[in-house]
Chain A
Amino acid sequence: MRITKEKPVELLSKYGLYFVLLLLIVVSAILSPLFFSYSNIANLLTYNSFTGLLSLGMTFVILTGGIDLSVGSMVGFSSILYATMLHGAIFTFMPDNIFIYTGSPQLTPLFPQGINIVVVFLICSVFGFISGSISYKFRIHSFIVTLCFMIFIRGLAVSYTHGQPLFGMPEYINFIAYGTFLSIPMPAIIWLTASVFSIFLLRYTRFGRGIYAVGGDEEAARLSGIKSAIYRIMPFIFSAFFASLVGIMMSGRMACGDPKIAQGWELDAIAAVVIGGTSLFGGRGTIGGTVVGVLIIGLIINIMNLLEIDAYPQQMVKGVIIIAALALHNLLSGRRYS
């Protein structure tokens, strides 16, 4: 019993994800000599770092058995909030009396530069705290609570400027959006750093282990002396925080605050988490899996781009592939304990 050889099926279900990633990389390399070019890899990492960051927060939420549908809206909200703050206000309905829709390149930031970003993080995290607390306190499934928050926050975001983008971004934000470090794009660095941090948090702290315990069986966790409130609420704060980070990075890339961006991104994030092997019932899954899940979806899109498949049919392929991946995964893992 001590050392048992793992059967091929078990190996496949355990490491299948990595095989798939490897397979996709090989396929991509064969399909196009451009795949391993610096610009393709850099683009691949940059474009996926946004979903990547969202899916990190989502992993925390899903590990406790919840779901966060509000992250897409949160990206839009944080983007417009940040832009508005750069123009000297924290909130404004119908802003024509303050500044024109197209914005003014003349920035009059509310706070000294870096502080504005911190305030955006704080406000969004408070929203995360509220949605998590409502779900916990009133025992409403987070699917419903965050669905309502998704609508509410998007509504709030478009109220700022009637849905118009607000132009004008400071210089330093370009570094986050477009800069490189050791020729690695900054968004990718932020994503991968956050991933490593999350892995560490989940694996090496009692807090992280508690997330697995509460998500696995709240009663078992309670009998071991774990109070579940913090484990149920914190993930929503993380999720909102990562969303606001993405919102600020996106603002930098577009050189404007846009309340309408990131619509439907929550679904991409959920798909990546689930492909990465995290159970929607909670208690099972890893950040590593999520990162691979993001890369798998990203590579599939990348391959289709390399094959010059039109963007619209790409969505169909994406939908089919996500279901196929999950069906295969469940077929294999269903046998694990039999």
Chain B
Amino acid sequence: MNKGVPLLEAKGIVKQYPGVLALDKVDFDVFSGEVHCLAGENGAGKSTLIEIIGGSYKKDEGTIRINGTEVEFASPKEAQESGIAVLHQELPVLPYLSVAENIFLARQPRNKAGFVNYSEMYRQARKWLDIIQADINPRSLLGSLPMSKQQLVSIAKALSLDAKIIIFDEPSAVLTSVELKRLFEIIGSVKKEGKGIVYISHRLEEIFEIGDRVTVLRNGRLVGTRPIEEINRDTLIKMLVGREISEEVPTERKEIEDKAVLAVKGLCRKGIFEDISFTVNRGEILGVYGLVGAGRTEVIRVIVGADPLDEGEIYIENRRVRIKSPKDAIKYGICLAPEDRKQHGLILGKSVQENIVLPSLHRFKRSLFLDYGRMRSYTRKFVSSLRIVTPTLSQKVRFLSGGNQQKVVLAKWLGMEMKVFIFDEPTRGIDIGAKEEIRSLIRKLAEEGRAIIVISSEIPEIMSLSNRIVIMHNGRITGCLLREEATKEKLIAYSMGANHI
């Protein structure tokens, strides 16, 4: 099958970010008429690689050849002109323009006088949509279509651009299984026309269903490229996970009191997750593992009242509660340190003190006014106990390091005597030294008898913190392991949708 010159050949690609080597001499190629899957854990470098191929990022080293000729892309446009189409997971589209116009943006068919010829545009759009048998009216507004159909429109666009190489970035994340089947059929027919397909996914079943070859990346390095016939599930998992065992020694397991603080039963939010049940006991850290898009954050958002719940029950200390807003959640003692702390956890332009006292402001009232003296001593207490490194209490939070910002988020809730602390990716974007500090703070919170939920995509982190680990895949819980039973392989297998090991 793979004969002659590859359509696309990337060799020795290196991409360095401050402090991180995102790609370390990675080779990747695509031949005409094949589906080449790209797999790897979160943060393995898949996205960086395709952004470089698609012209959005610049590579530091390495060469990219198209049909054997070396190319250098300065913009996505240039990559597009060389026949590369990247179908991003979150497609940048113009929802208020018609389907046809999205396909032919900036190259609308024109009549002799130079004016946009709408009937011709609709006719051509119809033609491309028919090729992929998409039942979409070219005149309807793109924004009125469901995500899956928008995806089909971008495939039509890629075809109309005469793309030779079409890159799908985790399309399954937004598609239902029926739609995915349809997409696979389309990929199959496009493949027959001699296009090269790159398909990024971390779902094993998909890779085996449509892939011809698979390339695995791990920590920015190339693990290997194999024809799909030569490998099975187990070898692929081994490639994804690597041989090294968890670097971090689990801390001593302390006896957990069997006293449920937070229990959820059968939580469901239609189309996002379903049948989520778990309990967190006093003094326990419950880890929630899963790949990006598994629905972890969405479950948490329901528990803290940020999103509405369709079905299911939430219990606090065996009492059923209804949480309709974040305010309710705080009232019941549930707090969240969100993943995107810069956007949802902190007011960056405000000082350390203002951020810390914000949720407990009512406690500093003295008649009509606020007692700034008490606010200051209250803040100082947390700054020293959490060792927040800041020149003054009035330093703007924007200028603190990631680790210290996370501590400020923590301090906000500590003074409120919360019962349940939920951490969504508590150490993301924090440098290594501070990571451990945050982790030990989390452990300390648990020892003090609070119930903790930690969402993390880092396996070593989740293994070192948690007493129990719940694994989610595709909006469902696929496994629940005690720390003693948990291994990296098991976590990854469950997170990729395996039901048993």
**What is the interface of chain A, defined by CB distance below 8 A to chain B?**
1-3, 203-206, 208-210, 212-213, 216-217, 219-226, 283-284, 336-337
* Of A3, A208, A224, A337, the contact of B105 (CB 8 Å cutoff): A224
**Distance of B127 from chain A, by nearest CB (Å):** 16
Please tell me if B395 contacts chain A, counting CB pairs below 8 Å: no
**What is the interface of chain B, defined by CB distance below 8 A to chain A?**
76-77, 80, 92-97, 101, 105-108, 110, 114-116, 135-137, 143-144
For B116, give the chain A residue with the smallest CB separation: A204
Instruction: Report whether B116 and A220 are in contact in the complex, using a CB–CB cutoff of 8 Å.
Output: no
B93 — which chain A residues lie within 8 A by C-beta?
A: 217, 220
A220 — which chain B residues lie within 8 A by C-beta?
A: 92-94, 105
**Distance of B225 from chain A, by nearest CB (Å):** 29
B136 — which chain A residues lie within 8 A by C-beta?
A: 1
Instruction: Report whether B110 and A206 are in contact in the complex, using a CB–CB cutoff of 8 Å.
Output: yes
Asked whether A209 and B101 contact (CB < 8 A) given A2-B137, A204-B116, A222-B76, the answer is yes
Instruction: Report whether B106 and A225 are in contact in the complex, using a CB–CB cutoff of 8 Å.
Output: yes
A3 to B116, CA, bound (A): 24
Instruction: Report whether A221 and B137 are in contact in the complex, using a CB–CB cutoff of 8 Å.
Output: no
Asked whether A283 and B94 contact (CB < 8 A) given A223-B76, A225-B77, A225-B80, the answer is yes
* Of A206, A217, A284, A336, the contact of B106 (CB 8 Å cutoff): A206
B97 — which chain A residues lie within 8 A by C-beta?
A: 209, 212-213, 216
Most A CB atoms within 10 A — which of B105, B135, B143?
B105
A-B contact pairs, 23 of them (CB 8 A): A1-B135, A204-B116, A205-B114, A206-B110, A206-B116, A208-B116, A209-B101, A209-B108, A213-B94, A213-B106, A216-B94, A216-B96, A217-B94, A220-B92, A220-B93, A220-B105, A221-B94, A221-B106, A222-B76, A225-B77, A283-B94, A337-B143, A337-B144
Instruction: Report whether A221 and B105 are in contact in the complex, using a CB–CB cutoff of 8 Å.
Output: yes
A337 to B147, CA, bound (A): 12
**Distance of B153 from chain A, by nearest CB (Å):** 12
A221 to B107, CA, bound (A): 12
6 closest A-B pairs by beta carbon, nearest first, are: A220-B92, A224-B105, A204-B115, A216-B94, A225-B77, A284-B96
Instruction: Report whether B116 and A205 are in contact in the complex, using a CB–CB cutoff of 8 Å.
Output: yes
A284 to B95, CA, bound (A): 10
Asked whether A216 and B106 contact (CB < 8 A) given A205-B116, A223-B76, A337-B143, the answer is no
B115 — which chain A residues lie within 8 A by C-beta?
A: 204-205
A216 to B141, CA, bound (A): 13
B110 — which chain A residues lie within 8 A by C-beta?
A: 206
Instruction: Report whether B116 and A212 are in contact in the complex, using a CB–CB cutoff of 8 Å.
Output: no
A219 — which chain B residues lie within 8 A by C-beta?
A: 92
A1 to B99, CA, bound (A): 14
A225 to B106, CA, bound (A): 7
Most B CB atoms within 10 A — which of A1, A204, A222, A283?
A204
A6 to B106, CA, bound (A): 30
A209 to B116, CA, bound (A): 9
For B121, give the chain A residue with the smallest CB separation: A209
A110 to B115, CA, bound (A): 39
For B143, give the chain A residue with the smallest CB separation: A337
B94 — which chain A residues lie within 8 A by C-beta?
A: 212-213, 216-217, 220-221, 283
A206 to B108, CA, bound (A): 7
**Distance of A71 from chain B, by nearest CB (Å):** 25
